[in-house]
Structure 1
Amino acid sequence: MDAIVMYPSPAIGHLISMVELAKLILNHRPSLSIHIIVFDPPYDAGSTAPYINKVYATIPSIIFHHLPTITLLPSIISSCQIPETLTFEVLLLNNPNLHQALVSISNNYTIFAFIADFFCYAAQSVTAKFNFPTYEFFTSGAGCLSLMLCFPTIHKNTTKSFKDMDNLLHIPGVPPMPAKDMPQPFLERDDNVYQYFLDATIQLPRSAGIIVNTFESLEPRAVKAMTDGLGAPDGPLPPLPPLYCIGPLIASDNRGGSSHGGGGGDSDSKPEYLAWLDTQPIQSVVFLCFGSLGRFSAEQLKEIAVGLERSGQRFLWVVKNPPQLDTDLDSIFPEGFLDRTRERGFVLKSWAPQVEILNHDSVGGFVTHCGWNSVLEAVCAGVPMLAWPLYAEQRCNRILLVQELKIALPMVESENGFVSSTEVDKRVREFMNSEEGDSVRRQTKAMKNEAKAALNKGGFSCVALFKLFESWKLK
């Protein structure tokens, strides 16, 4: 039987993107078997077991293979400031286990291709011993990919850490990028994670092709820069293998149903937040949600609460407890906040079905951490963004969303990353009641139509997918 093997990074957002790629492939080539090799990271990357079990139970053509757990020395774990370092450490140690898994799969299947997450670059030294091509899957956008591809050249041209640089970086296809807005793991040149990412970006062009979770009409300048091999003063692009922009790949939430959610049934069966949304005017609600790992200090949560109350805008806010603090929300918020905002606000603790809420008619704006999955979900729902990056490559994404794609307005933080209640109030008002807000709203709705067109027969992403199949000799 013919098979494709996939190797995602363990973070839940990366795993979901890889599974969505698997589903897309199976929709067009249902005779294939897809094998996803997973492993546990030595830190909390978000629980993946319930998600894997659900996929396993509903899509028999997707088979999961769990690699043995790697135990890192306590000294390595305690010395790491950035979780991505530990992911790279485990990936390197996992290569013998990966080799064994591929041998086992090869005994019963003909493997046509191996697709590795960008983080899993070390797998190429293993897959080179087999008779199938290896592709890189880049779960962020084309603008961020262009930055990654230029990283080795930028590294050669300077001896400073990005955190100590005040200049702009000129990268093909994206606006000038402040050095301090480079992805968080890139900022300190002497950190181990910097070297891991440097190795990963050097390896990218050596793959048989790069699959990107974007669509050409969303990021035309960045895609053109890479396909045309354009150069720039700070970062000439290396010769690239074929680029396959096959997005937007987004996951549907656990609940099905219409834009008013709920998975059917009468209104009494709806979750409280959906029933509340149903009572709000169209496009009047600001939705605040910051991803599976996005947490704020108690002090920052108070500032958000004060800013939202002052703004007078309707809001639905998903709140996680601050790190190492398990307490009632009433004790974190200003006294009486929940009572005073009860008519125009709804606070939801810990989790929400983001796609379902974004597609609700009442939602008119999305305050987001700029994770790429969330960006694509907002685009597909036609909901503009207020960009508040927290970690990883999210500061780069903010520049792209605000300056290049023009589908977001920026939240402006202080030097230490703190956002005042005054800023929250000002930006939320501007977002919902200004010409700037209306402009990004119009642009996002236009991109929603472009996203739909890209996936239709003859669309950019559909054509790219079939070119990918041709490279695998799949008819």
Structure 2
Amino acid sequence: MTKTIVLYPGLAVSHFVPMMQLADVLLEEGYAVTVVLIDPAMKEDIAFPAVVRRIAASKPAVAFHTLPRLEDPPRVTHDSQFVLRYYDLVNRYNHHLHSFLGSMPPGSVHAMIVDAISQGALDVTKKLGIPVYMFFAANASTLAVFLQLPSIRTVGQPSFRELGDNSLDFHGVPLMPASHLISEMLEDPESEVYKALMDGLRRILEAEGVLVNTFASLEARAVGALGDPRRLPAIPSVYCVGPLVADAGEGKEKHKCLAWLDEQPERSVVYLCFGSVGAGNHSNEQLKKIAVGLEQSGHRFLWVVRAPPPLSDDPERPFNHCADPDLDTLLPEGFLERTNGRGLVVKIWAPQVDVLRHRATGAFVTHCGWNSVLEGVTAGVPMLCWPLYAEQKMNKVFMVEEAGIGVEMVGWQEGLVEAEEVEAKVRLVMESADGERLRARVKAHSEAAAVAWKDGGSSRSAFGRFLSDADEHMTPERTHVLD
């Protein structure tokens, strides 16, 4: 019987896409792969279902199964209650997940890989005796922080919010300002959100292991701490199996921005893009300041612009971040005409992997989402760090302080980056000796990334250890049966 590994991805493009890259590797190793999905329409991100459909259509060897829809599902929106709603959604789908897994031939499920934020599925895998591994779509440094958070603060001590910019000392990572933790950690420690997230982080320890989308040499200190029981006792095995980065779009219709890049000199273009969800949409004022900074810098640019966030924060009116932006209204008067030929503004989306790997791209202004960081690293492009949400502030600390692959765009923490800062940092990366040193470090990491998945490379070896460990955990007595 062919061994089947079941993947249970999270409801986010940034979590789904790298897990599908993992599916490709499992297929190459001779495993059957089944992807079990909560209905993608459960999440407010209207782009997510389209991404799922496109990727599913491109992987005929992978079996995709969408669980039956709940009668009265909770609405999963990006607000202060996101974690509670998401956990509730996953838990309420457990009976459908149990039924599906139980319907598979006995002993056919070799292991299950669950997105780290969907850890409620552990209740199902425990009942069925299926070895379960977590997939951590962020980096090893963030994982190291998350695993230490439940024990770093004791009752009666100041909350993380009260600590402000005071630094926290975690094993394996640079000093981390408390203000840079994810927003849920900055809630009142007595709040439901805070307690739920802490409980969720503790549940990671229940898995057989954690697969992380990174490679060992990029995060040597964090990887060392995660593998040192003296530093971080009682954590499961950690397998660094990245970079899991989508392939360039070979064979697809060429996007107009790539044709424009073909006409630009080598390493001459600054690329700006701030992620795939609505939280990455800038205000009208910020868009104008970016435009002024780019114009004043004198450098070529390719800028992905989305419509600003809505004035209303009514959860019943989720923001369509794919709305067509009116560039004439959003950007300074005459900006498009004055920068015509030197710059290109693209609405909503660009083929990021292709753009970053293009010879003309010389710098990347990024929100520091981990997928984007890895895409920048593998392309060898230095980054200008402008974190916005989730763990991106933590990623910024790693990128600037540890890996030396980016510089910080000052002002993001106050909610507004001035035009002068945009101009100055673009010039620094594109013109200065500091920029050249930054470029050299990213290039070295890019070369290491290319080796990581080759025979004998660190990620290939880590993946082999995962498969071997999964074989050991799938003993006859753990062959799953229905309760």
TM (norm. structure 2) is: 0.89
Whether 1:116 aligns to 2:114 is yes
Instruction: Specify the code of the residue in structure 1 equivalent to 2:185.
Output: F
TM-fit CA distance, 1:106:
4.0
Whether 1:328 aligns to 2:329 is no
Q: Which residue does 2:285 correspond to in 1?
A: 299
- Larger RCO (alpha carbons 8 Å, 6+ apart): 2
Q: Which moved more, 1:199-208 or 1:413-422?
A: 413-422
Task: Assess, with a 3 A threshold, how the Cα gap between structure 1 residues 427 and 6 changes in structure 2: closer, same or farther.
Answer: same
Any conservation in 2 of the 1:172–1:222 contact (CA below 8 Å)? yes
State the alpha-carbon separation in 2 of the partners of residues 366 and 435 from structure 1: 17
Task: Assess, with a 3 A threshold, how the Cα gap between structure 1 residues 372 and 72 changes in structure 2: closer, same or farther.
Answer: farther
- Cα distance per residue 1:36-84 (max 9 Å; x no partner): 333336442342333333333332331122123346688x879953534
Instruction: Specify the code of the residue in structure 1 equivalent to 2:409.
Output: M
Any conservation in 2 of the 1:38–1:64 contact (CA below 8 Å)? no
Alignment of 1:108-147 (within 5 A): 110-147=108-145
State the alpha-carbon separation in 2 of the partners of residues 400 and 101 from structure 1: 40
- The alignment partner of 1:418 has SS state of coil
State the alpha-carbon separation in 1 of the partners of residues 83 and 287 from structure 2: 26
Task: Assess, with a 3 A threshold, how the Cα gap between structure 1 residues 270 and 239 changes in structure 2: closer, same or farther.
Answer: closer
State the alpha-carbon separation in 1 of the partners of residues 156 and 223 from structure 2: 26
Q: Which residue does 1:151 correspond to in 2?
A: 149
Task: Assess, with a 3 A threshold, how the Cα gap between structure 1 residues 271 and 54 changes in structure 2: closer, same or farther.
Answer: closer
TM-fit CA distance, 1:419:
1.1
State the alpha-carbon separation in 2 of the partners of residues 288 and 242 from structure 1: 37
Whether 1:274 aligns to 2:274 is no
TM-fit CA distance, 1:247:
0.6
TM-fit CA distance, 1:427:
1.3
- The alignment partner of 1:391 has SS state of coil
Instruction: Specify the code of the residue in structure 2 equivalent to 1:256.
Output: E
Q: Which residue does 1:99 correspond to in 2?
A: 98
Any conservation in 2 of the 1:288–1:318 contact (CA below 8 Å)? yes
State the alpha-carbon separation in 1 of the partners of residues 68 and 258 from structure 2: 41
Correspondent of 1:421 among 411, 419, 427: 419
Instruction: Specify the code of the residue in structure 1 equivalent to 2:262.
Output: D
Any conservation in 1 of the 2:306–2:325 contact (CA below 8 Å)? no
State the alpha-carbon separation in 1 of the partners of residues 49 and 162 from structure 2: 40
- Cα distance per residue 1:289-327 (max 9 Å; x no partner): 111012111111111111111111110000011123865
Whether 1:69 aligns to 2:63 is no
Q: Which residue does 1:187 correspond to in 2?
A: 186
Whether 1:243 aligns to 2:229 is no
TM (norm. structure 1) is: 0.91
Q: Which residue does 1:472 correspond to in 2?
A: 470
Any conservation in 2 of the 1:409–1:437 contact (CA below 8 Å)? no
Task: Assess, with a 3 A threshold, how the Cα gap between structure 1 residues 143 and 411 changes in structure 2: closer, same or farther.
Answer: same
Any conservation in 1 of the 2:133–2:208 contact (CA below 8 Å)? yes
State the alpha-carbon separation in 1 of the partners of residues 46 and 469 from structure 2: 34
- Cα distance per residue 1:181-219 (max 9 Å; x no partner): 011221113443322221121011221011111000100
Instruction: Specify the code of the residue in structure 2 equivalent to 1:162.
Output: F
- The alignment partner of 1:68 has SS state of coil
Q: Which residue does 1:162 correspond to in 2?
A: 160
Alignment of 1:428-467 (within 5 A): 428-467=426-465
Task: Assess, with a 3 A threshold, how the Cα gap between structure 1 residues 3 and 286 changes in structure 2: closer, same or farther.
Answer: same
Q: Which moved more, 1:185-194 or 1:438-447?
A: 185-194
- Cα distance per residue 1:94-118 (max 9 Å; x no partner): 11121112112346x7001011111
Whether 1:26 aligns to 2:20 is no
State the alpha-carbon separation in 2 of the partners of residues 7 and 271 from structure 1: 32
Any conservation in 2 of the 1:34–1:61 contact (CA below 8 Å)? no
State the alpha-carbon separation in 1 of the partners of residues 77 and 445 from structure 2: 44
Task: Assess, with a 3 A threshold, how the Cα gap between structure 1 residues 112 and 343 changes in structure 2: closer, same or farther.
Answer: same
Q: Which residue does 1:234 correspond to in 2?
A: none
Task: Assess, with a 3 A threshold, how the Cα gap between structure 1 residues 184 and 197 changes in structure 2: closer, same or farther.
Answer: same
State the alpha-carbon separation in 1 of the partners of residues 432 and 154 from structure 2: 44
State the alpha-carbon separation in 2 of the partners of residues 46 and 336 from structure 1: 32
Q: Which residue does 2:202 correspond to in 1?
A: 202
Q: Structure 2 unaligned runs (5+)?
A: 311-322, 475-483
Task: Assess, with a 3 A threshold, how the Cα gap between structure 1 residues 240 and 78 changes in structure 2: closer, same or farther.
Answer: closer
Any conservation in 1 of the 2:23–2:33 contact (CA below 8 Å)? no
TM-fit CA distance, 1:143:
0.3
Q: Which moved more, 1:87-96 or 1:156-165?
A: 156-165
Any conservation in 1 of the 2:306–2:324 contact (CA below 8 Å)? no
Task: Assess, with a 3 A threshold, how the Cα gap between structure 1 residues 341 and 80 changes in structure 2: closer, same or farther.
Answer: closer
Instruction: Specify the code of the residue in structure 1 equivalent to 2:462.
Output: A
Task: Assess, with a 3 A threshold, how the Cα gap between structure 1 residues 158 and 32 changes in structure 2: closer, same or farther.
Answer: farther
Q: Which residue does 2:477 correspond to in 1?
A: none
Correspondent of 2:250 among 253, 256, 260: 256
State the alpha-carbon separation in 1 of the partners of residues 344 and 121 from structure 2: 45
Any conservation in 1 of the 2:44–2:77 contact (CA below 8 Å)? no
Any conservation in 2 of the 1:162–1:180 contact (CA below 8 Å)? yes
Instruction: Specify the code of the residue in structure 2 equivalent to 1:199.
Output: D
State the alpha-carbon separation in 2 of the partners of residues 319 and 171 from structure 1: 36
State the alpha-carbon separation in 1 of the partners of residues 78 and 350 from structure 2: 34
- Cα distance per residue 1:114-158 (max 9 Å; x no partner): 111110111111110112211111111100000010011023366
Q: Which moved more, 1:238-247 or 1:323-332?
A: 323-332
Q: Provide the aligned C-alpha RMSD in A.
A: 2.2
State the alpha-carbon separation in 2 of the partners of residues 464 and 328 from structure 1: 47
- Cα distance per residue 1:362-398 (max 9 Å; x no partner): 0010000000111111111111110100100000000
State the alpha-carbon separation in 1 of the partners of residues 400 and 126 from structure 2: 40
Any conservation in 2 of the 1:42–1:72 contact (CA below 8 Å)? no
Q: Which residue does 2:314 correspond to in 1?
A: none
Identity of aligned residues (%): 41
- Cα distance per residue 1:311-347 (max 9 Å; x no partner): 1111000001112386511111110000001121110
- The alignment partner of 2:211 has SS state of strand
